């Protein structure tokens, strides 16, 4: 207690927080001579406010003095009211996100590959609730002065790509991306590019993002990264599963070890591939080399300064490479033009059509004798004949549909330039050499190089003496060499 000296028979003490004042009779003072006015005067000397409550306490105090009840003990004569500090605003995750985060952190059922410390949302998704600050109530001290609140309250600040709903608290995303909430600054935003500063590993978990993803490190074995937009990787992609709605760009290499895969609806770019599985709708561009990999692109495969060694690669529009195969004669398969899947589909259609025609002929042979004696046919025979003819109509419709599809596939291979024109259509352009053991497929024909062939050469369809053949064309001199080729058999290995 701090003591204030007053020329009075009473000593009044006010607590450091000014929330309590006590009074006691000084030694030597006669309690029988004390009055209410003297107590009030002592309180006034130290500026203690005399409220109705204080007045009633003073009267009770004087009454006890006159009764001789321990007059020199300190008695609480006045009390203030402490300030009720408010609470800062806070952010609460949407229930669905909160449940997901709870399950991810439940060690009893934890799948460490699927743990994801990143919250990803789509446009319009509810993120959570921005609870406003809870305003505090100022206090009053024994002098009847206001006790101010300690500090201004903070609220959740909404920054980029988030908005409040009409209720004033529910927060939604206005664009897809990663939710960025800083509990220290109470700021909330959605970042359109998901930045992962290190590796995609157990510290991050699998990623499923509606927006662009940028990984500065590597994507480790057995992890999965899926994005509706593009993916950029500063390091390498290991035996991971990658799905991109647009492009994939890898500063390092792709080393799937025949376990993972990379699929993109746009282009794929990387320094090298080793035992990789790549599938792209757009171009696949490799800087150095492709080793023992399986590559498929609906556009072009471009390795103008590198090599394809082992495995199988396919570029529907074309392949450009410096070296095909290796001096060790490692089997290497390259395909351009119509995909093997479509060729297989065409062959199956052809086989099925032959089977369907045989079925139709058999039905006709069954029905024909009945139709000769149509007038004498029983009701059951007429129903049988009708059913059989309906089957014929249905099968013939399937045949027509299948034949149309067959013609579409064959039309893709039908256009071949004449002898004098420039080469058009899918081709394999080799800048330096084709090594022994390399097989090249153009549409439905395969040629295998039995000896090393120097480049530059363009391997494509050419019409020679009214026959479409696979040829090696020197783009510098224009010379044309027909290559031995055969039609693809669907038990052939490789090609895509």
209 has which bridge partners? 227
Greatest CA span in the chain, whole angstroms?
Answer: 146
Q: What per-residue confidence (pLDDT) applies to 240?
A: 96
User: Rounded to 5 degrees, what angle do the CA atoms 388, 389, 395 make?
Assistant: 90
Q: Which of 261, 274, 275, 265 is nearest to 222 (CA)?
A: 261
Cα angle 142, 145, 151; round to 5: 115
Q: What is the DSSP string of 269-300?
A: EEEEEES-EEEESS-EEEEEEEEEEEEEESSE
Among the listed residues 212, 248, 207, 210, the one whose alpha carbon sits nearest the alpha carbon of residue 224:
207
> Which residue(s) pair with 196 in the sheet?
215
- How far is the CA of 225 from the CAs of 101, 131, 242, in angstroms? 18, 33, 5
The DSSP output letter for 360 is: H
- So what's the pLDDT on residue 347? 74
Any idea of the CA torsion for 296, 297, 302, 303, to the nearest 10 degrees? Answer: -10
How does DSSP classify residue 415? -
CA nearest to 235, candidates 201, 283, 212, 267: 201
Alpha carbons 257 and 269: distance in angstroms, whole number? 18
Residue whose structure tokens are 């090696």: 472
Query: How far is 337 from 460, CA to CA, in rounded Å?
Result: 10
Pair type for strands 75-79 and 20-25: antiparallel
Sign of CA dihedral 138, 140, 141, 143: positive
pLDDT at residue number 493:
38
pLDDT recorded at residue 335: 94
Q: Which residues of 102-125 are buried (b: 16+ CB within 10 A; e: fewer)?
A: eebeeeeeeeeeebbebbbbeeeb
Taking the C-alpha atoms of residue 418 and residue 314, their distance in angstroms, rounded to an integer, is 25
* pLDDT score of 496: 47
Angle at 263 between CA 262 and CA 269, to 5 degrees: 70
308: tokens are: 């394809």
Cis amide prior to 456 (ω within 30 degrees): yes
- Domain boundaries of the chain, sorted by first residue: 2-79, 90-133+151-191, 194-282, 313-336+425-496, 341-414
pLDDT value at position 104?
52
Q: Answer yes or no: are the C-beta atoms of 221 and 236 closer than 8 Å.
A: no
Beta bridge partners of 81: 140
Radius of gyration of the chain (CA): 44
Residues 62, 70: Cα–Cα separation, whole Å: 12
pLDDT along the chain (496 residues), means of 10: 59 91 86 85 89 90 84 87 88 86 53 60 91 89 86 87 94 89 90 90 90 93 94 94 94 91 96 96 95 96 95 95 94 90 74 80 76 72 78 81 73 50 75 95 92 94 85 91 83 44
pLDDT for position 2? 45
* Cα 411 from chain centroid (whole Å): 39
Instruction: Tell me what pLDDT residue 300 has.
Output: 95
Q: Quick one: which of 300, 345, 317, 333 has its CA closest to 437?
A: 333
Task: Tally Cβ neighbours within 10 Å of residue 348.
Answer: 13
361/359 Cα distance (integer angstroms)? 5
Query: Residue 452: is it exposed, middle or buried by C-beta count within 10 angstroms (0-12/13-18/19+)?
Result: middle
Q: Is 381 helix (H, G, I), strand (E, B) or coil?
A: helix
């Amino acid at each position: 207690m701090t003591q204030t000296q007053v020329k009075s028979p009473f000593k009044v003490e006010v607590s450091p927080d000014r929330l309590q004042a006590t009074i006691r009779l000084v030694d030597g003072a006669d309690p029988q001579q004390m009055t209410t006015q003297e107590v009030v005067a002592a309180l006034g000397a130290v500026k203690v406010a005399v409220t109705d409550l204080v007045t009633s306490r003073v009267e009770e105090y004087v009454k006890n003095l006159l009764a001789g009840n321990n007059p020199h003990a300190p008695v609480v004569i006045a009390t203030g009211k402490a300030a009720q500090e408010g609470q800062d605003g806070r952010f609460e995750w949407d229930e669905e996100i909160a449940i997901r985060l709870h399950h991810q952190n439940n060690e009893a059922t934890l799948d460490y590959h699927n743990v994801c410390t990143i919250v990803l949302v789509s446009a319009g998704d509810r993120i959570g609730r921005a609870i406003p600050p809870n305003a505090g109530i100022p206090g009053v001290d024994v002098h009847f002065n206001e006790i101010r609140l300690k500090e201004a309250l903070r609220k959740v600040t909404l920054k980029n790509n988030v908005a409040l709903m009409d209720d004033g608290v529910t927060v939604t995303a206005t664009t897809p991306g990663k939710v960025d909430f800083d509990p220290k600054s109470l700021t909330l935003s959605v970042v359109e590019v998901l930045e992962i500063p290190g590796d995609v590993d157990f510290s991050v978990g699998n990623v499923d993002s509606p927006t662009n993803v940028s990984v500065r490190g590597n994507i480790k074995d057995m992890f999965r990264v899926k994005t509706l937009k593009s993916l950029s990787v500063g390091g390498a992609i290991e035996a991971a599963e990658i799905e991109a709605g647009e492009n994939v760009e890898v500063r390092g290499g792709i080393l799937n070890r025949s376990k993972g895969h990379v699929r993109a609806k746009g282009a794929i770019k990387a320094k090298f591939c080793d035992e990789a599985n790549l599938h792209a709708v757009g171009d696949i561009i490799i800087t150095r080399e492709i080793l023992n990999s399986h590559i498929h692109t609906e556009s072009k495969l471009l390795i103008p300064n590198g090599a394809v060694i082992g495995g199988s690669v396919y570029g529907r529009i074309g392949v450009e490479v410096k070296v095909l195969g290796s001096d060790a004669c490692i089997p290497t398969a390259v395909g351009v033009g119509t995909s093997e899947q479509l060729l297989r589909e065409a062959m199956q259609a052809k086989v099925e059509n032959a089977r369907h025609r045989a079925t139709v002929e058999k039905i006709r042979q069954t029905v024909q004798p009945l139709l000769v004696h149509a007038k004498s046919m029983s009701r059951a025979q007429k129903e049988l004949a009708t059913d059989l003819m309906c089957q014929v109509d249905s099968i013939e419709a399937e045949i027509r549909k299948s034949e149309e599809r067959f013609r579409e596939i064959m039309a893709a291979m039908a256009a071949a330039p004449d002898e004098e024109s420039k080469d058009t259509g899918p081709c394999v352009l080799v800048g330096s050499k084709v090594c022994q053991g390399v097989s090249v497929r153009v549409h439905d024909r395969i040629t295998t190089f039995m000896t090393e062939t120097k480049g530059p050469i363009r391997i494509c369809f050419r019409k020679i003496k009214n026959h479409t053949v696979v040829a090696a064309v020197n783009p510098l001199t224009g010379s044309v060499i027909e290559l031995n080729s055969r039609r693809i058999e669907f038990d052939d290995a490789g090609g895509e």
